[in-house]
Structure 1
Amino acid sequence: MAEVLFYHLTESRLEEALPDLLEKCLARGWRVVVQTSDPERRDALDHHLWTYRDDSFLPHGTDADSSGALQPILLTAEGAQDANDPQVRFLVDGAEPAGDLSRYVRAIYMFDGHDPERLAGARRRWTIDKAAGHDLAYWQQSEDRRWVRKG
């Protein structure tokens, strides 16, 4: 079973929080796929990851590129896309997994705590993934934007 983490964004936007978590995955030697809800959002995150900080570099590509299998971080708008053989799958902006999460070391849902639709979706996924037998953890941002485990 996978370790399934829920990251509840309350103090920052996805674009601010995602790069740090991706850096931690790469530091562990994990390959990552980030699944968005649509191609436009994928492309916006692609642009952001090239420019988010002057002193950092996150090697990545998109499923629109022919080099997807070579990428340590692959951004996709397709649910079943695993061209880079990832150990970790991020699901953002309400993206839904296409299949069983058991093939990953970790699956990570990141959701906007100010969006009632995203909150409802995260609660629904919690119920589904718990019933599937995954090891679940819930993280929420504190006022200083640090992650605090709540459950």
Structure 2
Amino acid sequence: MTRIDFHTNVGDPLLYACRLARKAYQAGQPLVVLADPGRLRAFDERLWTFSPLDFLPHCMADSALAERTPIVLTADLARVPHHQILLNLAPAVPAQFARFERLLEIVGTTEDELGAGRERYRFYRDRGYALNNHKQGENQGA
């Protein structure tokens, strides 16, 4: 069964997602990042700029390099090369999340983000998934 981790009360979800991506990369765990195309572009830009000392190799899922790239960005999970960790930056439950060993959910602090996060949480809980909660504020490190 997919392990699901919720990271809540996140002030800057894209920056936090970069930190989670760095953590997965440093641990040698391939990562797929799901979001709409506009958010993926913003996340791609943040991956290049969030830390002057880190390079996180990443590409889009339709790239010829996706099979060999540890961080793959996509708006559609139909054809992704990795199934270890899924980082969901979309507001909805990913249709194919159960194909992944682990799912990371980030919930920001705006009303829209909180509402969507609560809906996703209920969805997983009601289907019997064990949910791990990591509330930010007390511990900002990822």
Same fold (TM over 0.5): yes
Task: Please list every run of 5 or more consecutive structure 1 residues that lacks an aligned counterpart in the other structure.
Answer: none
Equivalent in the alignment of 2:104: 108
Report the 3-state secondary structure (helix = DSSP H, G, I; strand = E; otherwise coil) of the residue aligned with 1:117.
Answer: helix
CA contact (8 A) 2:87 2:104 kept: yes
RMSD: 2.0
One-letter amino acid matched to 1:116 = E
Q: Which whole-Å CA distance do the structure 2 matches of 1:58 and 1:72 have between them?
A: 8
2:12, 2:134 → 1: CA distance?
15
Runs (4 or more) in structure 1 with deviation over 6 Å come to: none
- Which of 94, 97, 100 pairs up with 1:97? 94
Cα distance in 2 for partners of 1:144, 1:85 equals 29
CA contact (8 A) 2:34 2:73 kept: yes
| Residues 130 and 136 in structure 1, CA contact (< 8 A), matched pair in contact too | yes
5+ unaligned residues in a row in structure 2: which ranges?
none
TM-score between the two structures when normalised by the length of structure 2: 0.86
SS at match of 2:29: coil
Please tell me whether residue 13 in structure 1 is matched to residue 9 in structure 2.
no
TM-score by length of 1: 0.82
Partner of 2:81: 84
Distance change (3 Å), C-alpha of 1:19 and 1:45: same
Structure 1 partner of 2:61 = 63
Correspondence list, 1:1-150, <5 A: 1-10=1-10, 12-36=11-35, 38-78=36-76, 80-99=77-96, 101-113=97-109, 115-142=110-137, 145-146=140-141
Residue 86 of structure 1 and its aligned partner are, at CA, apart by 2.7
Amino acid across the alignment from 1:103: R
C-alpha distance in 1, partners of 2:140/2:14? Answer: 13
